[in-house]
Amino acid sequence: MDDWTSLHSQAFILTIRPGQVAEYRRRHDEIWPEMLAALRASGIVHYEIFLHEPSHCVFGHMLRTHAPDPAAPVDPVMLRWREFMADVLEMEDDQPRREAIERVFHLTA
């Protein structure tokens, strides 16, 4: 992608349950191929997760070709992944407790 300015950017923080950091890493090391396909199908072209182990928090950042549509149905594979991760992440109802992060600076080279 040559024009990064046309992409929709999202960042968030998730909290890993105490004692589950190694399991969180393991599950992402073995992420399902169908989950990767579902992420790509949702318009994600760049997705990275950073771990801050002392706080049990992860910072996620993704770039999409378009903003997500909150009214669109959630891919069944993504729903299965959320369920799979429920014992590892702090949850809010049926999805990980996710705190959005505001961008306050951006530099494009």
CA–CA separation, 12 vs 61, rounded Å?
7
Closest CA to 56 of 10, 29, 96: 96
Torsion sign over Cα 38, 75, 49, 67: positive
Helices 76-85 and 21-29 cross at an angle (nearest 10°) of 150
How do strand 99-100 and strand 8-15 relate by DSSP bridges?
antiparallel
- Phi then psi for residue 7, to 5 deg, are -90, 150
- Positions annotated as catalytic residues are 28
